[in-house]
């Protein structure tokens, strides 16, 4: 069972998650301040957070974050990933997609689609990580290959086949890419696996 805190302005949005299989909603919040307090008090495996949350001026720290968005606009979602989120879901996602996204993020995996992947490629091309005191400069050759294929719209399973890798290996590369993304922004790496998390291969949402 994955322990989840849900931060969304409307009660019906928060109630949706209580009915999901394998999910235990341990806290809910309707504002950015309440979300921070809920994470500190309940210590969830994942915080599902609406990007339109009132009073929200940053991604809440202290747990793995999966953001909700009304659209898949890459600019806003990339900013959320850069600020510390490990993935996102677009409103209208199916129950299976929501459960998959939560499980992936709880297990320390990354969960993002092609539009955000393209912005990540541009970001790493323009960012010298060594200037920020990090051991790696940009992406490894294999990480770049994975990100380029995701940016081209290929799902993780197809990326694995194309590169001759196991699905779990591709998931590991995607997770490493997001960890480097967080590091390039000066943000410490976020939590990896939650207490109730189980392994999940990421699929590009949208």
Give the tens place of pLDDT for each residue, 108-137: 888 888 888 888 888 888 765 444 444 345
Contact call for residues 110 and 202 (beta carbons, < 8 A): yes
Structure tokens of 8? 């969304």
Q: pLDDT category, 84, cuts 50, 70, 90?
A: confident
How far out from the chain centre does Cα 204 lie? 11
Q: pLDDT category, 40, cuts 50, 70, 90?
A: very high
Rounded Cα distance between 169 and 171, Å, is: 5
Q: pLDDT category, 163, cuts 50, 70, 90?
A: very high
For the whole model, what pTM was predicted?
0.73
Q: Is the pLDDT of residue 194 over 70?
A: no
Task: Give 143-153 pLDDT, tens digit per residue.
Answer: 999 999 999 98
Write the CB contacts of 181 (distance below 8 Å, at least 6 apart in sequence).
81, 82, 120, 123, 124
Q: pLDDT category, 200, cuts 50, 70, 90?
A: very low
Structure tokens of 37? 């307090």
Give the residue-averaged pLDDT of 158-179. 92
76 or 164, which is more confident: 164
pLDDT at site 196: 34
DSSP string, 132-184: GT-S--S--HHHHHHHHHHHTT--HHHHHHHHT--HHHHHHHHHHHHHHHHHH
**Phi, psi (5° rounding) for residue 68?**
-105, 140
pLDDT at site 156: 87
């Amino acid at each position: 069972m994955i322990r989840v805190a849900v931060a969304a302005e409307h009660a019906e949005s928060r109630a949706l998650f209580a009915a999901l299989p394998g999910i235990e909603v341990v806290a809910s919040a309707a504002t950015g301040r309440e979300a921070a307090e809920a994470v500190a008090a309940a210590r969830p495996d994942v915080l599902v957070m609406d990007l339109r949350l009132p009073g929200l001026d940053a991604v809440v720290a202290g747990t793995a974050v999966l953001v909700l968005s009304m659209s898949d606009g890459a600019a806003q979602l990339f900013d959320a990933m850069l600020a510390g989120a490990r993935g996102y879901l677009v409103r209208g996602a199916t129950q299976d997609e929501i459960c998959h996204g939560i499980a992936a993020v709880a297990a320390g995996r990354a969960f993002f689609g092609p539009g955000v992947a393209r912005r990540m490629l541009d970001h790493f091309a323009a960012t010298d990580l060594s200037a920020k005191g990090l051991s790696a400069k940009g992406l490894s050759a294999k990480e770049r290959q994975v990100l380029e294929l995701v940016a081209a719209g290929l799902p993780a399973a197809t990326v694995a086949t194309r590169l001759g890798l196991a699905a779990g290996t591709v998931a590991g590369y995607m997770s490493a890419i997001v960890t480097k993304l967080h590091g390039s922004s000066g943000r410490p790496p976020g939590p990896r696996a939650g207490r109730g998390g189980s392994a999940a291969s990421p699929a590009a949402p949208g």
